[in-house]
Amino acid sequence: MKNIILIGMPGTGKSTVGRALADRLGYDFVDVDDLITQATGRTLPEILRTEGLDAFLTIEGRVGETLDRENTVVATGGSMVLSEGAMAHLKENGVAVWLETPLSQITDRMPEDLVDRGIAAPQGMTIQEIYEQRTPLYARYADLIVASRPGEDDTARQVEEVMRTIGLTL
């Protein structure tokens, strides 16, 4: 059975929706950000501050390229789509679902210092610029696009319903 790979901007609820979806489907759940923390022994903000953006993206890409799971909902980091190799590997055994969220909602959920949230972006880049950079990549990799809803269980139910409607076997 294929994995469900959740992609989208930081603040879209990939982790929360992912847990709810995994519970609904009886799947395992994994958050790539947690795997990065386990592999390095440091938080995402620590990696970004001490090693920099390029090192972080290399670590994230490596985690994505080596992730080997089945029957799992995978919450990727918002920057995973910057790694072509990682996305190709994840999609070999997974359906990529873009949790599309309006920029206004994402902006409301973000702290002033994006590094505090562990957001991988060049120094000084705004959340709007990140959104504009990544939106075409989310669209490129998405097998399905689901508009985020206010409740994580509502979004999880919507993901499940869309997958069933188009005939993707769960």
The answer to whether residues 160 and 169 touch, using CB atoms and an 8 Å cutoff, is: no
Q: With helix as H, strand as E and coil as C, how does 86-136 read?
A: HHHHHHHCEEEEEEECCHHHHHHHCCCCHHHHCCCCCCCCCHHHHHHHHHH
pTM of the model as a whole: 0.88
The answer to whether residues 156 and 14 touch, using CB atoms and an 8 Å cutoff, is: no
The Cα 85–Cα 87 span in angstroms is: 6
For 27-53, what is each residue's pLDDT tens digit? 999 999 999 999 999 999 999 999 999
pLDDT of residue 77 exceeding 60, the answer is: yes
What tokens were used for 4? 């469900």
The answer to whether residues 99 and 148 touch, using CB atoms and an 8 Å cutoff, is: yes
For 107-134, what is each residue's pLDDT tens digit? 777 766 666 666 788 888 888 999 999 9
